[in-house]
């Protein structure tokens, strides 16, 4: 399956528990320029709540989220 959203960087946080996927994503977003898209892969079910809240509070745009077989994928556009 091809990615529906083109990403500028990808972070694999599989196997990490809350809050590590979000913390690593924040660090990665800090390195990226405004407008860049970060794709995050996580296996922690709590990451759905975390990434939705983070995008809303930080002002980043959660372009898409997917879940398939316990693997969560998020595409975040940095403001």
The 10s digit of each residue's pLDDT in 40-56 is 999 999 999 999 999 99
CA angle 38, 36, 66 (to 5 degrees): 35
Nearest to 29 by CA among 63, 75, 67: 75
Catalytic annotation, pick one of 16, 18, 20, 36: 18
| 18 annotated active-site | yes
What is the second-level CATH architecture of the domain 9-78?
2-Layer Sandwich (3.30)
Section 19-44 average pLDDT:
97
Phi–psi pair at 70, nearest 5 degrees = 80, 5
Section 11-40 average pLDDT:
97
Nearest to 51 by CA among 8, 5, 20: 20
Return mean pLDDT, the chain: 94
pTM summary value? 0.92
**How do the domains of the chain map onto residue ranges?**
9-78
pLDDT of 27 strictly over 80:
yes
- Would you give the DSSP letter of residue 5? S
């Amino acid at each position: 399956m091809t990615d529906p959203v083109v990403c500028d960087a990808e972070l694999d946080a599989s196997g990490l528990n809350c809050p590590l996927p979000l913390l690593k994503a924040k660090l990665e977003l800090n390195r990226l320029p405004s407008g860049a898209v970060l794709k995050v892969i996580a296996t922690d079910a709590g990451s759905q709540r975390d990434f939705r809240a983070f995008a809303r509070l930080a002002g980043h745009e959660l372009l898409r989220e997917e879940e398939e077989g316990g693997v969560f994928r998020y595409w975040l556009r940095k403001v």
